[in-house]
Amino acid sequence: MPVKVRITLLFTLLVVGILAVVCGSVYYFYYTGRVDDITTRLTNRAITTGRLLRQRGVFDEALIRKIDSSTSVAMREKAVAVYDSLDRRIYSYRDVGAEDLKIERAVVEKTKKTFSGPIYFTRGRRDAIALNYNEGKEGYADYVIIAAAYDETGNEKMRDLRMVLVLSFLGGIVISIVGGILFSVSLLRPIRRIADEVNEISARNLARRIRSSGDDVKDEWYYLSGTLNQLLNRLQESFEIQGRFIANASHELSTPLTSISSQLEVSLQRMRTVEEYRSVIQSVYQDTRQMSKLTQTLLEFARASGTAAGLEIDLIRIDEVLLRLPGEIVKADRSFSVTLDFDALPEMEESLLVFGNEELLFTAIRNVVSNGCKYSDDHHAVVRLTVRGGEVVIEVEDRGRGIAVEERESIFQPFYRTEDGHSVPGFGLGLSLTRRILQLHKGSIGVDSVVGEGSVFVIRLPMAGG
């Protein structure tokens, strides 16, 4: 079922429900008011008849009937019946053409036991009351007086009211349907506009954004447009990063491949000496190692670009991970050196525990330390370990060239290298890989650097008990 139809249907049902409650309430209260009114008038007539019957020395039955017939009231088909304590009808009166009251014995018996007021009931189209008339005077008999009449005026007003309510109810339904359609169209128009604009956005024109309803009207459609625009911003940024990543990866892979191909082609143009072939093979071997390192780094980056759900997460002591650094760094380059500063360690060993994948965390930290050694003039880096505010903090300090403010965020992008860094061997993937690994572990990395003095990279990881 289309949303527009569902909105119209729900709106119509809501309005119909409200109209039904209002019309029903109006009719009920008017009906009870009419019943109370006719009950009062019939009760007064019954009491008058009872009082006349008590004064039989003054009023006989013929005179009472004459009085009843000459009484002018706004009721038709009037009838009165009076029963004594022995259930004998001692008096009756009815208008000309009116049916006689046929009262069951059970009604008379019930009325005798009722002293709280008249009992209301109906006979055909006439309203009737049964009254236990007893003034409590000694020597007087109890009376059960039945009075009935057709409330012509009240019933005509009820018919008019029913007609007005029915017409109002039907008119309200028609208005609610039309209003529901207009309301649903107006409500869904912004969604239709947003959907049409989204359909026109593709990977080739991600720069386009959805027009909002206006800064002065910050409604739900404004929030939806803003949310979608933020999503498009992230998508555009991801596509641009992906495009740069593919272009840089292709360039980095094509360089050694081109070198290998060129050297082999030149070497095959004529016969060469063993030493010349050895030199070519040595050069090809270096290019192959370079390409192998790049491929391995790309595989690690692809692994870290997944989700944490696929990782083997264990409880790790971060200081034990850091103790592996000196040996691994020296193994990579004998000119590199690392100093571990554990002077600020907490007394409780549990504060050094983190949840994570040990190999990935070691790779992330090693990349930062390796960069520190690589870009330092003395090829030395200092690693400090502290615990602050529920976080394990690792600081890697070097005395290198420093990083300019405008480049501090870009250095975490894949294949990005600073202007001074092109002379240093590398691919520009280490820091981006580190950030991705730390994000998988709900951690972060930042840098504080002074050009010409050095840099301090700060790695933060949540404690296992934090």
Residue 273 is inside which H or E element, if any? none
Of 258, 277, 304, the residue at which a domain comes to its end is: 304
Q: Are residues 447 and 329 in the same domain?
A: yes
CATH of residue 241: 1.10.287.130
Distance between CA 244 and CA 252 in Å, rounded?
12
User: Phi-psi region for residue 261, left (φ > 0), alpha (ψ -120 to 50) or beta?
Assistant: alpha
Residue 11 near residue 187, CB atoms below 8 Å: no
- Read off the DSSP letter of residue 74: S
Q: Which of 121, 111, 128, 103 is nearest to 41 (CA)?
A: 128
User: Phi-psi region for residue 452, left (φ > 0), alpha (ψ -120 to 50) or beta?
Assistant: left
Q: Are residues 46 and 128 in the same domain?
A: yes
Q: Are residues 289 and 404 in the same domain?
A: no
Q: Report the pLDDT value the prediction gives residue 22, as an integer from 0 to 100.
A: 92
Q: Are residues 297 and 330 in the same domain?
A: no
Q: Report the pLDDT value the prediction gives residue 458, as an integer from 0 to 100.
A: 92
Q: Which residues of the chain have pLDDT under 70?
A: 1, 56-74, 135-142, 202-204, 206-207, 213-218, 240-253, 255, 290, 293-294, 297-311, 414-429, 465-466
- CA-CA-CA-CA torsion sign (119, 122, 128, 134): negative
Distance between CA 418 and CA 379 in Å, rounded?
18
CATH of residue 392: 3.30.565.10
Q: Are residues 361 and 432 in the same domain?
A: yes
Q: Are residues 133 and 9 in the same domain?
A: yes
Q: Are residues 280 and 423 in the same domain?
A: no
Which are the contacts of 59, defined by CB distance < 8 A and separation ≥ 6? 52, 53, 67
In total, how many domains does the chain have? 3
Which DSSP string do the residues of 113-171 spell out, in sequence order? Answer: T--SSPEEEEETTEEEEEEEE----TT---EEEEEEEE-HHHHHHHHHHHHHHHHHHHH
Distance between CA 265 and CA 260 in Å, rounded?
8
Rounded alpha-carbon distances, angstroms, from residue 442 to 257, 283, 413, 460: 38, 43, 19, 9
Residue 306 near residue 351, CB atoms below 8 Å: no
Residue 457 is inside which H or E element, if any? strand 454-462
202 found inside a domain: no
Q: Hey, which residues does 83 pair with through a beta bridge?
A: 89, 144
Distance between CA 452 and CA 319 in Å, rounded?
30
169 found inside a domain: no
Residue 76 is inside which H or E element, if any? strand 76-83
Residue 242 near residue 305, CB atoms below 8 Å: no
Q: Are residues 275 and 339 in the same domain?
A: no
Of 115, 141, 158, the residue at which a domain comes to its end is: 158
195 found inside a domain: no
CA torsion 416→421→424→425, rounded to 10°? Answer: 0
CA angle 412, 286, 292 (to 5 degrees): 50
Q: Report the pLDDT value the prediction gives residue 138, as an integer from 0 to 100.
A: 44
Residue showing tokens 């009351």: 129
Structure tokens at 68: 């009843």
Three-class SS of 366-420: HHHHHHHHHHEEEEEEEEEEEEECCEEEEEEEEEECCCCHHHCCHHHCCCCCCHH
Distance between CA 450 and CA 400 in Å, rounded?
9
18 found inside a domain: yes
Q: Are residues 433 and 383 in the same domain?
A: yes
Distance between CA 107 and CA 79 in Å, rounded?
16
Of 304, 321, 349, the residue at which a domain comes to its end is: 304
Q: Report the pLDDT value the prediction gives residue 449, as an integer from 0 to 100.
A: 84
Q: Report the pLDDT value the prediction gives residue 83, as an integer from 0 to 100.
A: 87
Structural domain for 18, as ranges: 3-158
The string of pLDDT tens digits covering residues 366-398 is: 888 888 888 888 889 999 999 888 889 999 998
Instruction: Tell me how far the alpha carbon of residue 26 is from its chain's centroid.
Output: 39
Residue showing tokens 């840089």: 248
CATH of residue 67: 3.30.450
The string of pLDDT tens digits covering residues 278-288 is: 888 888 887 78
Q: Are residues 15 and 98 in the same domain?
A: yes
Q: Are residues 449 and 321 in the same domain?
A: yes
435 found inside a domain: yes
Distance between CA 462 and CA 361 in Å, rounded?
13
Q: Are residues 443 and 362 in the same domain?
A: yes
Residue 437 near residue 362, CB atoms below 8 Å: no
376 found inside a domain: yes
174 found inside a domain: no
Distance between CA 86 and CA 143 in Å, rounded?
9
Which DSSP string do the residues of 61-73 spell out, in sequence order? Answer: HHHHHHHHHH---
Residue 15 near residue 176, CB atoms below 8 Å: yes
406 found inside a domain: yes
